[in-house]
Structure 1
Amino acid sequence: MQRLTGQLSVIVDNIAKVSEVATPDVPATSHPLPLENVFRPDVVGQMLTVEQVLQNAPDAADGRFRVTAILGEEQ
Structure 2
Amino acid sequence: MSDLSRDEVAHVAMLARIQLTDDELDRLADQLDQIVGFVATVGDLATDDITPMSHPLPLENITRPDEVRQSLTPEEALAAAPKAQAERFAVPRILDED
Q: Which has the higher contact order (CA 8 A, sep 6+)?
A: 2
TM-score by length of 1: 0.58
Percent identity, please: 35
RMSD: 3.2
Structure 1 runs of 4+ with >4 Å offset: 68-73
Please list every run of 5 or more consecutive structure 1 residues that lacks an aligned counterpart in the other structure. Answer: none
Structure 2 CA distance, aligned partners of 1:35 and 1:25?
Answer: 22
So what's the TM-score if we normalise by structure 2?
0.49
Q: In terms of Rg, which structure is larger?
A: 1
For structure 2, which runs of at least 5 residues remain unmatched after alignment? 1-5, 7-25
Name the structure where helix makes up a greater proportion of residues: 2
1:31 and 2:55 aligned: yes
Aligned residues: 71
